[in-house]
A and B are shown apart, each in its own frame.
Chain A
Amino acid sequence: MKADTVVNFDVALIERARRGDAKAFERLYRDHVGRVHGLCLRMTRNPDLAADCVQDAFIKAWKALPKFEARASFSTWLHRIAVNTVLEKRRGPANAEIAVEDPTVHEEPVMSFDTPVEEEELEAAIESLPQGARDALVLCGLYGYEHSEAASMLGIAVGTCKAQLHRARGLLRDRIERGVR
């Protein structure tokens, strides 16, 4: 019930923003900026770059609003734009990172830790992951996107996304266990 109200409210704001109402778009920004920034920050590992990406993503979203289909999730659409923006920034020479080789596809183990870890420790472990593995983990493991959605956002094959997530979880487990024990 509450979710419906939120969705309808978003739709009304989107409609107003589409007609050029910047105040409505500001409200959308305020509602969504935290998640978009969280996503950008985890993907870039750089607060300044993340802020740039968020800014660019919202400007792109404003320009692209007429193309947004009301049936789609605004949040997903916005995240897609943000992910694209991060990927574009990465292509710049200053932000180039050594690509991670595509591992083979494995079955995904269920993610769980025997010993509870602290938030900061987990964030640091995620931050230390190779780029491709981190992207998959952030989108699928943290933001709850399906492999197909995450793969589409990242411009990779679904199998590659699954493999990257598997790799990320393995590396994360190793690093946290090493740190905890």
Chain B
Amino acid sequence: MNRRLTRIDELKRDIPPARDLWPAIAAAIEAEKARAAAPGETRRRAAWLPAAGMAAAVALVAFGVLIGRISTQQVVTTPVVQTPTSSSPEMMPAAYRKQRDALIVEVQAKLSAMPEIERKKVTASLATLRRSIDEIEAALGHDPANALLQELFVSSCQEEMRALTAVRDSGSQET
């Protein structure tokens, strides 16, 4: 039944909508939150990338000490590393893994014959390089399609192989 009115301001001001609009609003809010979170994630990811790069750079500088002892005419054989199809370490090419494992055994033998100071330096550099690779791998686990990470992963693996090869060959190249 309609009320009798004499004034406009007696009209009801609250008129609920026929349907609940909240689910659509909530969905839009969630989308907005996700959108707002995305750049932060990128920033967080981007934050460690320079660190990883720096770690690799530190490793290279340390290796410079070692490489300085190697003949400049030395040709370092760079193993061919295929681009991994997945970030998972298990999915890394088997040939690469086998080659790397064999190289590590040779490097261990070489390291044990090195003076302690030099051994520590080289070991630390190799560990830094490995940590960088592990970090990149972990990031790829969250973002497998990231082309930049894939590229960085491959180049870091190549870097490690170059470093391991340089350590292995260091004694034999000395004059």
- Chain B window 3-38, contacts with chain A (Cβ cutoff 8 Å), 1 for yes, 0 for no: 111111101111111110110111011101100000
Do the beta carbons of B26 and A118 come within 8 Å of each other?
A: no
Looking at B3, B13, B24, the one whose CB has the most chain A CB atoms below 10 A away is B13
Q: Would you list which residues of chain A between 18 and 55 have a CB under 8 Å from chain B?
A: 20, 22, 25-26, 29-30, 33-35, 37-39, 41, 47, 50-51, 54-55
**Chain A at the B interface: SS class:** helix
Total count of chain A residues near the partner, CB < 8 A: 40
Q: Which residues of A contact B29 (CB under 8 A)?
A: 22, 25, 59, 62
Q: Which residues of A contact B14 (CB under 8 A)?
A: 34-35, 38
Q: How far is the CB of A168 from chain B (nearest CB, A)?
A: 9
- Chain A window 96-128, contacts with chain B (Cβ cutoff 8 Å), 1 for yes, 0 for no: 000000000000000111001111111100100
Q: How far is the CB of A116 from chain B (nearest CB, A)?
A: 4
Residue in B4, B8, B18 whose beta carbon sits within 8 Å of that of A116 in the complex = B4
Q: Which residues of A contact B8 (CB under 8 A)?
A: 111, 122, 126, 137, 141-142, 172
Judge if A67 is at the interface, Cβ distance under 8 Å: no
Q: Which residues of A contact B16 (CB under 8 A)?
A: 33-34, 37
Q: How far is the CB of A15 from chain B (nearest CB, A)?
A: 17
Judge if A68 is at the interface, Cβ distance under 8 Å: no
Do the beta carbons of B5 and A116 come within 8 Å of each other?
A: yes
Q: Which residues of A contact B32 (CB under 8 A)?
A: 59, 62-63
Do the beta carbons of A22 and B15 come within 8 Å of each other?
A: no
Query: Residue of A at shortest CB range from B14?
Result: A34
Q: Which residues of A contact B19 (CB under 8 A)?
A: 51
Query: Residue of B at shortest CB range from A141?
Result: B8
- Chain A residues proximal to chain B, CB less than 8 Å: 20, 22, 25-26, 29-30, 33-35, 37-39, 41, 47, 50-51, 54-55, 58-59, 62-63, 111-113, 116-123, 126, 137, 141-144, 172
